[in-house]
Structure 1
Amino acid sequence: MENARQLGGYRCADGRRIKDGVLLRSGKLSGATEEDIQLLTGRYHLKKVIDLRMSDECREAPDPDIPGVKYFPIGLMQENRNDHEVHEMTGMYTKDPARAVLQMALSGLMNGNMYLGLAFDTYSQAGFKKFFQILLDYEDGAVLFHCTGGKDRAGTAAVLLLSALGADREVILRDFALTNIVESGRIADIMKEARKHTDDLEVLGMVRSLAGVNPEYMERMLDAVLERYGSMEQYLLEAFALGPQELQLLRNRYLEGRQI
């Protein structure tokens, strides 16, 4: 599986850490091997998969049917939107990712505005509200959430989830940027191919950001949330109906120990 990791161990509210092996994130599961599935169900006791892709992505690369695992498709972007940014974003996971990423860099479309859209678009907010509702309805086992590459939509979901669990900004951005380490081999391959077509350092810098993630874009989103809502807590309340009671329940579900 692409860009797969867990959130366990991060220090959050009240000094408590996220439980090990309960919150997983990744790219699409269509390429999961039998070994991958055995790991998910055997070691992590996977119970729920939250798919953040659009329906055409799901049709083209469907998740496997895993016995005992509930599947929740939650699109975060409007369907049939004829959005060049979306098409180019998913294009980097085709048979020629370097060419797709280079085209994105040259077009200038992917400049971080997608994260702002995910944060403030009412359709996206409705999707994230469902995401949190599923997480609140938790009994045992692991929950895995993913998009296609596991870095933009799943990355934004992880940022919001870590925020709700009370992680500080440094932890949140460190997890977001971890994609650049986990996917370093794929990023290096894309850079190698891109250099065959251009020696423009500015373009190559954009290619690197697009092949992986650019933490500055996510910092911009977090700053915009604070500017518009005044605090992350107010944003979580207004956008996703996560008030103090819901936040405490979420933290009791996923953090070690229990705050009364």
Structure 2
Amino acid sequence: MEMQRVIELDMPVNFRDLGGYQGLDGRRVKWRKIYRSAALNEMSARDRVKLANLRITVDCDLRSSREQRDYPDLLWPGVRFVNIGLYAEGDRFNQAHPFLRLFHHLPEFDDYLPKIYQQVLLNEHSEEGIKRVFEELLKLPEDQALVYHCAAGKDRTGIISILILMALGVDDKTIAEDYLLTDELYDFSIEKQHPTNEKLSQVIAKMNVTRGEGPAVKGITETIRQGWGSFDKFFTRKLGFKQADLEKFREMYLEEEEED
């Protein structure tokens, strides 16, 4: 059975499955386990039934306290809401240990987005949010799924997606393509189309991945590799997990490719 990456909902348009990408050791990211989305405050009753049927039992909200208050998620039966709040609020947003950059020899970026993404990795509040998402995924039962989201489903959601896909050994080009799909999906919504897998494949083939990866995704990937040497070391030394946790994570969310 062909899996559909984009889940068709009345709202939001940017609700999609993170599965299907090739990861570590030729294994594939499992379908119907991890979902990413934009805000979930305008869903119809039909949408909520669909999410319940997808067995999504954890909703990780990466938005600020004000966003959550003004536009609260519309929850569905059986789901547990988890307040993450990925960005530090107020004066804490740009706070990071002054010696981190020097100690880890981190790359410098000229563009705004990679600077912000790098700052998220260095900020203690954001670090705790990243860790919370991985903790939720590590304790998720086998027959259940999780969704994480922000407002547009791009920056905060994109950062978490990059980290999850890095953890699972997905290559940078594919990570960049997944990141860029958000903009393309909003174009589809303007044209009132629902993108099929074939349409998405055509869109991906036309993407200027180098341009898209440069100003955004590399803010995460290059910072981790240059600062910590590998994702494994970032996961253990920065986030405080054990290597066994990472191996468990990979066993939970990777599977062997099915033969034709």
Aligned length, in residue pairs? 210
Q: TM-score by structure 2 length?
A: 0.74
Q: How does 1:74-153 map to 2 (within 5 A)?
A: 74-81=84-91, 110-139=112-141, 140-153=143-156
Contact 1:7 1:23 in 2 (8 A): yes
1:215 corresponds in structure 2 to 213
Task: Give the equivalent residue in structure 2 for 1:234.
Answer: 233
**Partner amino acid, structure 1, of 2:58:** K
Determine the structure 1 residue equivalent to 2:34: 23
* Distance in 2 separating the partners of 1:7 and 1:132: 15
Map of 1:167 onto structure 2:
170
Contact preservation (8 Å) 1:180, 1:187: no
Cα distance in 1 for partners of 2:239, 2:247 equals 14
Counterpart for residue 33 of structure 1? 44
Normalising by the residue count of structure 1, what TM-score does the alignment of the two structures yield?
A: 0.74
Match of 2:71 among 57, 61, 72: 61
Sort the Cα spacing of 1:46 and 1:55 in 2 relative to 1 into closer, same or farther, 3 A. Answer: same
After superposition, the Cα gap between the structure-2 partners of 1:241 and 1:36, relative to the gap in structure 1 and judged at 3 Å, is same
CA shift, 1:82, in A, is 8.6
Q: Distance in 2 between matches of 1:29 and 1:109?
A: 30
> Taking structure 1 as reference, are residues 243 and 171 closer, same or farther at Cα in structure 2, changes over 3 Å only?
farther
**8 Å Cα contact 1:138/1:253 also seen in 2:** no
* Counterpart-to-counterpart distance in 2, 1:245 and 1:109: 36
- Give the AA of the match of 1:8: G
In structure 1, distance between residues paired with 2:70 and 2:112: 23
Farther-moved stretch of structure 1 (128-137 vs 221-230): 221-230
Contact 2:60 2:84 in 1 (8 A): yes
Distance in structure 2 (CA, Å) of the matches to 1:257 and 1:247: 18
CA distance in 1, matches of 2:46, 2:135: 30
Secondary structure at 2:91 match in 1: coil
Structure 1 CA distance for aligned equivalents of residues 254 and 14 of structure 2 = 23
Amino acid of the structure 2 residue aligned with 1:127: G
Supply the distance in 1 between the matched residues of 2:157 and 2:128 (Cα, whole angstroms). 15
Matched position secondary structure for 2:152 = coil
* Equivalent residue, structure 2, for 1:50: 60
Task: Report SS of the residue matched to 1:112.
Answer: helix
State the secondary structure of the residue aligned to 1:246.
Answer: helix
1:13 aligned partner = 24
Q: In the TM superposition, what whole-angstrom CA distance separates every residue of 1:53-72 from its partner, at most 9, and x where no partner exists?
A: 11111001000132211110
CA RMSD of aligned residues (A): 2.5
Tell me, in whole angstroms, the C-alpha distance in 1 between the residues paired with 2:16 and 2:58: 16
Is contact 1:225–1:231 with CA below 8 Å preserved after alignment?
yes
Unaligned 5+ segments in structure 2 are 1-11, 95-109, 192-210
Q: Which blocks of at least 5 consecutive residues in structure 1 are unaligned?
A: 85-107, 189-212
Q: CA-to-partner distance for each residue in 1:189-218, whole Å, 9 max, x for gaps?
A: xxxxxxxxxxxxxxxxxxxxxxxx943221
Q: Does 2:83 match 1:73?
A: yes
